Amino acid sequence: MKYSIFSLARAALSGHKNWPRTWRDPEPQKQYDVVIVGGGGHGLATAYHLAHEHGIRNVAVLEKGWIGSGNAGRNTTIIRSNYLLPGNIGFYEMSMKLWETMESDLNYNAMVSQRGVLNLYHSDAQRDAYARRGNAMRINGIDSELLDQAGVRKLAPFLNFDNARFPIQGGLLQPRGGTARHDAVVWGYAHAADKLGVDIIQNCEVTGFTRDANGKVTGVETSRGTIGAGKVGIAVAGNSSRVAAMAGLRLPIESHVLQAFVSEGIKPLIPGVITFGAGHFYVSQSDKGGLVFGGDIDGYNSYAQRGNLPVVEDVCEGGMALMPVIGRVRLLRQWGGIMDMSMDGSPIIDKTPVDGLYLNAGWCYGGFKATPGSGFVFAHLIARDELHREGARFRLDRFQRGAMIDEKGQGAQPNLH
């Protein structure tokens, strides 16, 4: 099925009742060349790139629930490449470029919307830090603009500029940043991977690994039986430690809950993505009109996929400090997802000490924007057994070697990243 204006017109003639499935629902086969554990954005993108770039099409993605039931379907959909440090900066820009061609690459409307990401600053010191980050971005060919207060006023006149405690002095803008429809990204990769022959198998939980006499991974045990695999890639986000433990591995990762919120729909207000620089609050507006916002992680280990009230209050306080104009808007829904918080706040894409087992993890609260890049780099690693240039620093052993990529400079305290 190719989506186009013609397919749309054709489907309209039969009242949109005859759309074919976007992807098949196959029974698992006995053996695959590659099995990917986890049907979030990263797992599906990896499968797509294995098939598309590397011609490896005998691939299965195993998902314990339904695809996109994890963080891929729970995030606040922000995409950007406004990083500071080598390792991150090139990777996220590569990912950004993949977002820019994703819809035609996948033949799927992912509602990629580059309406700008604006990080506000509220002090001279913060301005200097943003100027530094903006310069690092420009040196690497990434768009960035340091705005003064007048510049921010032009974009978002409704902000509380004269807040006595946190006056808005300006902001760092990445015009190419923005949002994308998270579910559509999952469905788009599923659609494109399926078309190339990838089996997407839902309701299939991986419960263990099969190994040969040398310890090499030969497949996975699942709730739907044992499935053989030449290679196995793990892309299970918040469940990384649990799945890695099935192969006897301990990871530099803790699982924490992050909450997100959406309000009732209102008329267009928020031009792009706006982040508060003096508290934990960030916001964008969906095409339906709802304000999509969030803040800090709850701060304690959790696998519960729900958070607690103090953070709800904290996020709303941040919102009110930044834009009192939203004070009467009603909150519609609130939910949580489980973040794979790494010890330096940056991801891991690497082989593991277990032969045949590959790891994609540690995305913290920022892995949605990484989805295309992560799939691209992870597929390269699995297919060729070599690191891709843009993912070369995301090593599992970097903590041992002292080669951390710590954007915030927080050290090994995952709830602070």
Ligand X SMILES: Cc1cc2nc3c(=O)[nH]c(=O)nc-3n(C[C@H](O)[C@H](O)[C@H](O)COP(=O)(O)OP(=O)(O)OC[C@H]3O[C@@H](n4cnc5c(N)ncnc54)[C@H](O)[C@@H]3O)c2cc1C
- Rule CB under 8 A: which residues touch another protein? 239, 241-242, 245, 250-255, 299-304, 308-310, 313-314, 343, 399-400, 412-415
Specify whether the CB–CB gap between 44 and 37 falls below 8 A: no
Out of 188, 294, 295, 319, the residue judged to bind ligand X by CB under 6 A: 294
**Partner from ligand X, another protein, none binding residue 367, C-beta < 5-8 Å depending on class:** ligand X
- If you write DSSP's letter for every residue of 310-346 in order, what string do you get? HHHHHHHHHHHHH-GGGTTPPEEEEEEEEEEEESSSS
β-bridge mates for residue 113, sequence order: 179
Out of 28, 32, 39, 278, the residue judged to bind ligand X by CB under 6 A: 39
Out of 41, 90, 233, 356, the residue judged to bind ligand X by CB under 6 A: 41
Specify whether the CB–CB gap between 232 and 33 falls below 8 A: no
Out of 281, 293, 358, 368, the residue judged to bind ligand X by CB under 6 A: 368
* Tally of CB atoms within 10 A around 10: 12
Nearest distance, CB of residue 304 and another protein, angstroms: 6
Q: How far apart are the C-alpha atoms of 376 and 390, rounded to whole Å?
A: 10
* DSSP-H helix ranges across 41-163: 41-54, 88-106, 124-139, 149-155
| Comparison of 3 and 335: residue with beta carbon closer to another protein | 335
β-bridge mates for residue 206, sequence order: 222
Nearest distance, CB of residue 27 and ligand X, angstroms: 16
Give the total residue count for the chain. Answer: 417
Residue 28 dihedral angles phi and psi, to the nearest 5°: -65, 140
| Comparison of 289 and 310: residue with beta carbon closer to another protein | 310
| Comparison of 127 and 256: residue with beta carbon closer to ligand X | 256
**Partner from ligand X, another protein, none binding residue 151, C-beta < 5-8 Å depending on class:** none
User: Pairing state of beta strands 206-211 and 178-179?
Assistant: unpaired
Nearest distance, CB of residue 255 and another protein, angstroms: 6
| Comparison of 144 and 169: residue with beta carbon closer to ligand X | 144
**Partner from another protein, ligand X, none binding residue 391, C-beta < 5-8 Å depending on class:** none
By the rule CB under 6 A, 62 interacts with ligand X: yes
Q: How far apart are the C-alpha atoms of 361 and 369, rounded to whole Å?
A: 14
Site residue total, ligand X (CB under 6 A):
39
| Comparison of 96 and 339: residue with beta carbon closer to another protein | 339
Specify whether the CB–CB gap between 381 and 388 falls below 8 A: yes
Nearest distance, CB of residue 246 and another protein, angstroms: 12
Nearest distance, CB of residue 169 and ligand X, angstroms: 24
Structure-token match 């939203």, residue found = 326
| Comparison of 29 and 123: residue with beta carbon closer to ligand X | 29
Q: How far apart are the C-alpha atoms of 128 and 175, rounded to whole Å?
A: 20
| Comparison of 200 and 251: residue with beta carbon closer to another protein | 251
Stretch that binds ligand X, among 137-145, 149-157, 166-174, 362-370 (CB under 6 A): 362-370
> CA-CA distances (angstroms) from residue 120 to 53, 130, 271?
39, 9, 14
* Tally of CB atoms within 10 A around 346: 23
Residues that bind ligand X (CB under 6 A): 37-43, 62-65, 69-72, 74-78, 205-206, 235-239, 243, 258-260, 294, 337, 363, 365-369
